Amino acid sequence: MAPQPIFFHVDVNNAFLSWEAIYRQTVLGESEDIRFLDAIICGDISKRHGVVLAKSMSAKRYGVKTGEPVVDAIKKCPNLKCFEPHMHYYHERSADLMEIFEKYAPVVEQCSVDEAFLDMTGTERMYGDMATFAHKLKDEIRDTLGFTVNIGISNNRLLAKMASDFEKPDRVHTLFPNEIEEKMWPLPVEDLFFVGKSTAVKLHSLGIHTIGDIAACDPSVLQSHFKSHGVVIYEFANGIDNTLGSRGDEEQKGYGNSTTISYDVRLAEDAYAIIRRLCEKVCARLRADEVQATVLSVEIKDSNFAVHRHQRSLLSPTDVTAECYKTACELFDELWDGAPIRLLGVTANKVTDSGMRQLNLFDMDTHDKMKNLDKALDSIRNKYGDGAITRGKL
């Protein structure tokens, strides 16, 4: 029999603040631990990057929130100490963390600088009880690297991620399917992965207040109010993970571009313009390598740093900007819950040779024209620079 899938989701507790504290003590030689001060990690207050990236527990008690402007945080906490991030150091600590993971896990799927999924399937014979081993792993990270993590354990990535968000810091939690009713369903809808502020407000207006309420709801009702996003949150509420798949070899073959925006995007029209530019960059790279994509995905990071992704298989492989743009906008409309956006990304995956396109009756008249237009634009930009010619809407 095949072994039962086992996943760990490991998340660094307050990563930027923890790593900055270690940096200031070990590199700068400071004696004070900023984790115990009214402190935040933030960007340049004179620019858009002057937002709260991380906060100490004492600053949190004043009502300071991640993602809010620094000027607002200072009003709440007059004695607040502000520290700019040292990202190069954070990446070094992240690399140290991944090195520990790779000692034990057959597959390490890094999600961001401070979190990863570990596919531990089949390792019980080596490590014994998974919860006991997770405690040992957590303690090793704390004792050797100087910061703490939470570890969530389950049979799929979604439930492992939900478990890692339970009580913090320095904790191990399980959330297996038979524990969903007890541990997850009583939680408020806001705690469910993929439920942002706007979605939560709308759910409350429908009389849906807990994750259990979502799980018990007719999925067609959710779909009527939230489109495909309603189906996703229904599945998530029932512990079904059809979205957080492996980000392994197939995604590494992808072509992606993303941008952190200099203001919070609140209008779909503004997002469309940014998506168009990202599609132009992605498709230009596809054409340069003479490949076409069969899957397109869109990523949104909102003002609270929550990341959402949505993907779709294309009807035919393509490297045409207009075709990718149309699909990307559809994915965006299905994914976006109205929350202010600080980052947008577009990725083309599962590439194939450009000569392998299958004829498609729906675009026979337009595909060749659009492809020739893209080639002309590529030629002009390659010769005179990216700014030589720009679409009117940009």
Would you state the CATH architecture of domain 1-176? 2-Layer Sandwich (3.30)
Please tell me whether residue 151 adopts helix, strand or coil conformation.
Answer: strand
pLDDT score, position 374: 66
pLDDT value for 314:
81
Q: Among residues 105, 128, 129, which one has the least CA distance to residue 116?
A: 105
The reported pLDDT for the residue numbered 253 is 57
Q: What pLDDT does residue 360 have?
A: 46
Nearest CA among 197, 228, 223, 192 for reference residue 334: 228
Q: Where are the domains of the chain?
A: 1-176, 184-237, 249-388
Specify whether 115 is catalytic: yes
**What is the chain's alpha carbon radius of gyration, rounded to the nearest angstrom?**
23
Q: What is the structure's pLDDT at 252?
A: 42
Residue 250 has what pLDDT? 41
Q: Two tokens at 276?
A: 């168009």
Half-sphere exposure of residue 77: CA atoms within 13 angstroms, side-chain side: 23
Q: Is the peptide bond before 169 cis (omega within 30 degrees of 0)?
A: yes
Domain 184-237 classification at class level: mainly alpha
CA atoms of 50 and 44, how far apart (whole Å): 5
What SS3 class is residue 291?
Answer: strand
**Catalytic one among 115, 280, 299, 323?**
115
Contact 214, 206 (CB under 8 A): no
- Determine how many CB atoms are found less than 10 A away from the CB of residue 392: 4
**Whole-prediction pTM:** 0.67
- Among residues 187, 192, 191, 161, the alpha carbon closest in space to that of 174 is found at 161
Q: What are phi and psi of 87, to 5 degrees?
A: -65, -35
Q: What pLDDT sits at residue 40?
A: 95
CATH topology of domain 249-388: Dna Ligase; domain 1 (3.30.1490)
Between CA 186 and CA 162 the distance in angstroms is 13
What residues in the chain have per-residue pLDDT under 50?
Answer: 48, 246-252, 356-364, 388
